[in-house]
Amino acid sequence: MPESVTVPETSIVVAPFTIEADHPRNCELLLTSVPNVRLQSAFDGMKPAKDVRGRARVPVDQALTFASFPRIPGARLEINPAKLTYRVHDPLFGEEDMCEQLRVWLKDNNAIRSGTKVAGKPPQTVTTDVHRMKTLCREVLRLVEHDEAKVVRGPCPTSAEIAELPGKFLMNPGIRTATTQPVYEEDFAGWVDRLSQAGG
Out of 42-56, 62-76, 125-139, 186-200, least confident range: 42-56
Please state the domain extents for the chain.
9-169, 175-200
Identify the top-confidence range among 52-61, 85-94, 112-121: 85-94
| Separation between Cα atoms, residue 102 and residue 95, nearest integer Å | 11
Whether 157 and 17 have beta carbons less than 8 Å apart is answered as: yes
Query: What is the pLDDT confidence band of residue 105, given thresholds at 50, 70 and 90?
Result: confident
| Separation between Cα atoms, residue 198 and residue 190, nearest integer Å | 12
| Separation between Cα atoms, residue 194 and residue 77, nearest integer Å | 39
Task: Give the pLDDT confidence score for residue 154 in this predicted structure.
Answer: 96
Work out the average pLDDT over 115-123: 87
Task: Give the pLDDT confidence score for residue 7 in this predicted structure.
Answer: 47
Higher-pLDDT residue of 101, 168: 168
Could you tell me which residues come within 8 angstroms of residue 63 by beta carbon, excluding any fewer than 6 positions away? 45, 46
* 8-state DSSP, 64: H
Higher-pLDDT residue of 54, 146: 146
| Separation between Cα atoms, residue 189 and residue 193, nearest integer Å | 6
Work out the average pLDDT over 142-170: 95
pLDDT higher than threshold 60 for residue 158? yes
Whether 82 and 16 have beta carbons less than 8 Å apart is answered as: yes
Query: What is the pLDDT confidence band of residue 10, given thresholds at 50, 70 and 90?
Result: very low
